[in-house]
């Protein structure tokens, strides 16, 4: 049996990297005052239709909608409304957080609400490097704050995170996608520009022309990119409010010491984005270069049924982040080696060995014993494979004298230590390290 296409097993040597990036993220979020939130793996399909947007790639072709076997039978009989009662595996993290913010009335607490998440996401895409069907995101959201400095803080956190992981060669691109008062005017301008060029656009963009023309600007197809090269720019058509916000963002980024470029083609794929949109691009991983994308979504909370509340955040793919770190040759922590391996000869020695093992582990020392009842030589070889710092050899003699030979593997030196004193001896020699 194989795993489904587009999914990944995370074997222990990979999990070390995952834990590293997740722990770093938790630590940075804590420093910036964000608290962790966990939401269900699936939500009502309607949440994503509303919160992500009917015209987005995600809703149109990438969602995994799930149904129980019992409801599947009803569905075939025409008695189950999948649109109303169906569940969808979360394709992104923001809509569920906003749903939870509304459902749990977090807006009634002192504001803003600053949340972070680490979550699996599911999208039915063509699997390739950095593009999976089950992938993982870390992300943050700040709700209830309109301040452009809040947007800058989100970008600052992402940048800080990347830097502390050791990433270089990152470009921060910012844009403003306007709001519901200035965007429709721009849409018309853009459509007027694109109309005579419609036949140069890919099939998807010809559809987007009617549903979501802004998305044409960030299409990766070369003919589309050529067609929009001289298109009017949304940042030249912002209303006063959006203009003020955008210049406030630039000032706040300067104040945080964050270099950025304005790229009028950063639009983000989701309908609910307003004003700030940004991407962080790595120059080193080729086609799937966007490691982090985010922005402001002032219309989303209301869309999901809550009070009018602004929001801003980002989502970042862990798989792509790790690919980027690997491409840049960034070092991950080494697995912690076994500190003590107990070699036992015979049943009585094994039982005494288990007692020593417990004392070592209680003292916080990573230790193990021979589970396979191997010969002395084979046990020593295995201890070597584990890169054990110390080996204890426990035979009949040692049981009688209650003293054990402790061998320091790297120097091949050994000492006799009283059984009761072993944990203290090891701690002292490991420099008290746990
Ligand atoms: P793309 O243009 O690459 O499809 P997107 O606009 O769909 O990206 P978002 O919806 O903004 O991406 O998701 C945020 C981040 O999640 C992306 O920047 C990326 O790091 C990651 N991501 C998105 N889709 C996938 C996927 N299928 N597999 C792995 N990571 C993904
Ligand atoms: Mg996508």
- Angle 151-312-161 (CA atoms, 0-180°, nearest 5)? 65
pLDDT in tens, 251-290: 999 999 999 999 998 987 566 789 999 999 877 666 557 7
* Residue 73 CA, ligand 1 centroid: distance in Å: 34
Query: How far apart are the C-alpha atoms of 151 and 382, rounded to whole Å?
Result: 53
pLDDT in tens, 2-61: 999 999 999 999 999 999 999 999 999 999 999 999 999 999 999 999 999 888 889 999
The structural domains of the chain, ordered by start, are 12-182+238-327 (3.30.930.10), 340-429 (3.40.50.800)
Q: Which residues lie closer than 8 Å to 344 by C-beta, 6 or more apart?
A: 350, 352, 353, 369, 370, 379, 394, 395
CB of 134 within 6 A of ligand 1: the answer is no
Query: How far apart are the C-alpha atoms of 432 and 120, rounded to whole Å?
Result: 38
Q: Return the percentage of the chain with pLDDT > 70, whole number.
A: 97
pLDDT in tens, 353-412: 999 999 999 999 999 999 999 999 999 999 999 999 999 999 999 999 999 999 999 999
Per-residue pLDDT, 57: 86
pLDDT surpassing 50 at residue 433: no
Per-residue pLDDT, 98: 98
Long-range contacts of 28-32 (CB under 8 A, 24+ apart): 28/157, 28/160, 28/161, 28/164, 29/116, 29/140, 29/157, 32/114, 32/140, 32/153, 32/156, 32/157, 32/160
CB of 320 within 6 A of ligand 1: the answer is yes
For residue 381, count CB atoms less than 10 angstroms from its CB and return exposed for 0-12, middle for 13-18, buried for 19 or more: exposed
pLDDT surpassing 80 at residue 131: yes
Per-residue pLDDT, 434: 42
- The two tokens of residue 433 are 């390290």
* Residue 327 CA, ligand 1 centroid: distance in Å: 18
Per-residue pLDDT, 83: 85
Per-residue pLDDT, 285: 63
* Residue 409 CA, ligand 2 centroid: distance in Å: 51
* Residue 268 CA, ligand 2 centroid: distance in Å: 9
* Residue 317 CA, ligand 1 centroid: distance in Å: 6
Per-residue pLDDT, 327: 86
Q: What is the pTM of this model?
A: 0.91
Checking DSSP bridges between strand 134-143 and strand 87-89, what pairing results, if any?
Answer: unpaired
CB of 290 within 6 A of ligand 1: the answer is yes
CB of 125 within 6 A of ligand 1: the answer is yes
Contact in structure between 218 and 233 (CB atoms under 8 Å) = no
Per-residue pLDDT, 211: 84
Contact in structure between 370 and 344 (CB atoms under 8 Å) = yes
pLDDT in tens, 322-340: 988 998 899 999 988 999 9
CB of 282 within 6 A of ligand 1: the answer is no
Query: How far apart are the C-alpha atoms of 248 and 241, rounded to whole Å?
Result: 11
Query: How far apart are the C-alpha atoms of 433 and 409, rounded to whole Å?
Result: 17
Query: How far apart are the C-alpha atoms of 36 and 69, rounded to whole Å?
Result: 34
* Residue 127 CA, ligand 2 centroid: distance in Å: 11
Three-state DSSP string of the chain? CCCCCCCCCCCHHHHHHHHHHHHHHHHHHHHCCCEECCCCCEEEHHHHHHHCCCCCHHHHHHCCEECCHHHHHHHHCCCCCHHHHCEEECCCCHHHHHHHHHHCCHHHCCCCEEEEEEEEEECCCCCECCECCEEEEEEEEEECCCCHHHHHHHHHHHHHHHHHHCCCCEEEEEEECCCCCCHHHHHHHHHHHHHHHHHHCCHHHHHHHHHCHHHHHHCCCHHHHHHCCCCCCHHHHCCHHHHHHHHHHHHHHHHHCCCCEECCCCCCCCCCCEEEEEEEEECCCCCCCEEEEEEECCCHHHHCCCCCCCEEEEEEEHHHHHHHHHHCCCCCCCCCCCCEEEEECCHHHHHHHHHHHHHHHHCCCCEEECCCCCCHHHHHHHHHHCCCCEEEEECHHHHHHCEEEEEECCCCEEEEEEHHHHHHHHHHHCCCCC
CB of 269 within 6 A of ligand 1: the answer is yes
* Of 124, 129, 290, 291, best ligand 1 pocket probe by most atoms within 8 Å of the beta carbon: 290
Residue nearest to atom 5 of ligand 1 (CA): 269
Query: How far apart are the C-alpha atoms of 32 and 122, rounded to whole Å?
Result: 28
* Nearest Cα residue to 320 out of 154, 140, 152, 138: 138
CB of 315 within 6 A of ligand 1: the answer is yes
CB of 99 within 6 A of ligand 1: the answer is no
CB of 132 within 6 A of ligand 1: the answer is yes
* Residue 58 CA, ligand 2 centroid: distance in Å: 7
**Structure-derived torsion over alpha carbons of residues 330, 333, 334, 337, reported in degrees to the nearest 10:** 180
Counting ligands in written order, the one closest to the CA of 137 is: 1
> How large is the average pLDDT for residues 147-166?
96
């Amino acid at each position: 049996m194989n795993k489904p296409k587009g999914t990944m097993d995370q074997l222990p040597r990979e999990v070390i990297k995952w834990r590293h990036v997740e722990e770093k993220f938790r630590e940075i979020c804590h420093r910036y005052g964000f608290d962790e939130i966990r939401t269900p793996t699936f939500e009502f399909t309607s949440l994503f239709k509303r919160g992500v947007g009917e015209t987005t790639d995600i809703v149109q072709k990438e969602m995994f909608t799930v149904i129980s076997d019992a409801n599947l039978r009803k569905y075939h009989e025409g008695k189950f409304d999948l649109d109303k009662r169906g569940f969808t595996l979360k394709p992104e993290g923001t809509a569920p957080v906003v749903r939870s913010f509304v459902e749990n009335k977090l807006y009634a607490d002192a504001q803003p609400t600053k949340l972070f998440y680490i979550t699996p996401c599911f999208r039915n895409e063509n699997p390739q490097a950095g593009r999976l069907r089950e992938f993982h995101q870390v992300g943050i959201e700040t709700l209830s704050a309109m301040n452009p400095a809040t947007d800058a803080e989100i970008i600052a956190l992402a940048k800080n995170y990347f830097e502390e992981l050791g990433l270089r060669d990152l470009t921060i691109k910012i844009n403003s996608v306007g709001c519901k008062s200035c965007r429709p005017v721009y849409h018309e301008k853009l459509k007027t520009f694109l109309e005579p060029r419609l036949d140069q656009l890919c099939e998807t963009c010809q559809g987007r022309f009617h549903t979501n023309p802004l998305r044409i600007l960030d299409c990766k197809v070369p003919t589309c990119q050529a067609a929009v090269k001289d298109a009017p720019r949304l940042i030249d058509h912002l209303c006063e409010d959006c203009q003020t916000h955008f210049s406030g963002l630039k000032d706040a980024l300067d104040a945080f010491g964050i270099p950025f470029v304005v790229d009028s083609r950063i639009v983000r794929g989701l309908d609910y984005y307003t004003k700030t949109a940004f991407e962080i691009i790595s120059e080193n991983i080729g086609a799937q270069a966007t490691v982090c994308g985010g922005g402001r979504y002032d219309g989303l909370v209301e869309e999901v049924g809550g009070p009018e509340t602004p929001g801003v955040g980002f989502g970042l793919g862990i798989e792509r982040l790790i690919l980027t770190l690997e491409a840049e040759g960034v070092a991950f922590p080494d697995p912690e080696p076994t500190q003590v391996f107990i070699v036992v000869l015979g049943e009585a020695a094994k039982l005494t060995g288990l007692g020593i093992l417990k004392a070592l582990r209680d003292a916080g020392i990573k230790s193990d014993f021979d589970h396979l009842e191997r010969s002395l030589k084979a046990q020593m070889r295995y201890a070597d494979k584990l890169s054990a710092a110390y080996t204890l050899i426990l035979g009949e003699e040692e049981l009688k004298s209650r003293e054990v030979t402790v061998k320091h593997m790297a120097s091949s030196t050994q000492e006799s230590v009283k059984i009761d004193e072993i944990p203290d001896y090891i701690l002292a020699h490991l420099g008290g390290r746990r």
